[in-house]
Structures are given as structure tokens and as C-alpha cells.
Amino acid sequence: MFDVDPLRRQSPAMDAKTRVAGKYLQDAKKRLLRNGFTEEQIDVQITSSRANIATAIHHAAAQGSYDALLIGRRGMGKVGEMFFGSVSSQLLESCHEIPLWIIDGEVTSIHFLLAVHALPVSLMAADHLSFIMQANPQSEIYLYHSSQFFGNDPQASREDFYTQWGEEWCAQHLDLENDLFGAHTRILIEGGVAEERIKRLDVQSGLDASQDLLRQAKKHHCGTIVLGRRGREINKGFFGGVSERTTQKAQNQAVWLVG
């Protein structure tokens, strides 16, 4: 279904852009159908907007009930890479309400590297991953903590987790002294991930946390890195830098950002 207002008059140039967009969307729909999706699962929409592309995408995502916003960075030539690189960078900056999936190149591995840290947003990332993993029983999840990830950021207190997880759950499962490895594992299991599919990696450190995450993902054949990040009002700190650098450096990988 194409969502184009029949009463809205468009210029010839806009009509041409709409036709090109329709062709690309139909090609994308055919690819989804070939990979197991049904007609009922796919809704194709074209809208015109005076806002820039990233703002229009963000607005559409915020208006719908979506589990994630997915954007690819490559596959359309050098001009396409520059264009989508700009869009993904803007969405990385502004889109915090919906998990953001940024895909670079061709992702061939079905395994996940979950960045583990003692902050509520990290548990939210685990919760999001467990929800998505329900439809992917063959995947494995590698839990990894980089000691350089948060640098000098202050540690969260136990009370910071109560709003989302409740005091009773936190009293049982919140292992702050262990970087929340146990809490992350518990959330994944409660979300339906079998315990034997969850692997814990040894804590390591490096000068560049983003490079450390990418290195571990490559070593353990993980096609996707999952990160929790804090709100836009403090995202310009070290944590925001890790998210951005990980996304920028990822090659033939997906990076999921939650929060």
C-alpha cells in the first residue's frame, strides 16, 4: 500500500521522485518476501515532507508503534554512502525513543555481542535483545564488558534501577559489584533466551572502547553489536562517543542502539 495523499498536488519533480521511491520500495518489498516475510507483514509508504530526510524518518518512526528503526548505510554507491551516512549520523544524534539499528554492508553472522555495563540503559538493551531473539532460536549472545567503556562516568546507584525493574527484582538480581553480568543474563532468560545460548566473555580493556567492542565481535563471529545508551541530554559525553565511533567503524556489521 502506498500512502500518498491523492488530493495533494505535487510538482512534476516531486512526481518523479515519488515514482523512483516507489520502485526502490517495491524492490525492498520483494527482497523481504524472498526472505520469509508475508504480504501482511509489510506496509509500504511514501510521504512527502518539507523536513530533512532524517527528521522525516524520525517523525514517522515516533508516530508508529515500531520495535526498532532500521537504516542501511551502504549498497547504493559512493553517493549513496555519503547520503545515508549523513542520515544515520543525524538519527544517531536525535533518535532515542526507539531502538536504532544501523546496518553496514552485508551481515552474515546471526550471533550477538551485548555490551554489559552497570547502568539501567544496558539492561534495557538486554531486554530489547531478548524480545527480538524470540524469533531467532539459533543465535548466541556473547556478554562482554570493556573496562574502558564508561571511562570516568559515575556509577549508577541501586535506586536508579527501581523505576524500570522494581525494588524486589533488583534486590534479587542486581549484581552491581559484578558489572551486572548476572542481571543481564537474568533478563535474557526471562525474555525467553535459553541459558545455554548465553556466553560470558572475560573482561578486558583497551585505549578505545569502540575498537575493543568491534574486535571482540569479530573474534567471536558476532554480526551484531548491541549497546545501551543514555538520553540525548548527556549523550555528548564519553558514552555517546563510543556509540558514534562503534557505528562509524563497523564494517559488514549491525549496531543496535537502545536508549
DSSP letter for each residue of 109-162:
---EEEEP-SSHHHHHHHHHHHHHHTT-TT--EEEE-BTTSSTTPPPPPGGGGH
pTM for the full predicted model: 0.85
**DSSP at 219:** H
Residue with the three cell numbers 527480538: 132
Please report, for residues 56, 125, 138, the alpha-carbon distance to residue 63 in angstroms, rounded to integers and kept in the order given.
11, 22, 33
Q: Is 108 within 8 Å of 80 (Cβ atoms)? A: no
Beta strands (DSSP E) in 189-237 are 198-200, 224-228
* Rounded Cα gap, residues 128 and 125, in angstroms: 5
Residue pLDDT tens, the chain, 259 long: 444 455 456 678 778 888 888 999 999 999 999 999 999 999 998 887 777 888 889 988 988 889 999 988 764 445 555 555 678 888 888 889 999 999 998 999 999 999 998 999 999 999 999 999 877 888 999 999 987 655 555 678 999 999 999 999 999 999 998 889 999 999 999 999 999 999 999 987 777 888 999 999 999 999 999 999 876 655 455 445 788 889 888 999 999 999 8
The tally of CA atoms less than 13 A away on the side-chain side of residue 167 is: 1
Spell out the domains of the chain, with CATH numbers in brackets: 1-48 (no CATH), 112-258 (3.40.50.620)
* Rounded Cα gap, residues 212 and 2, in angstroms: 43
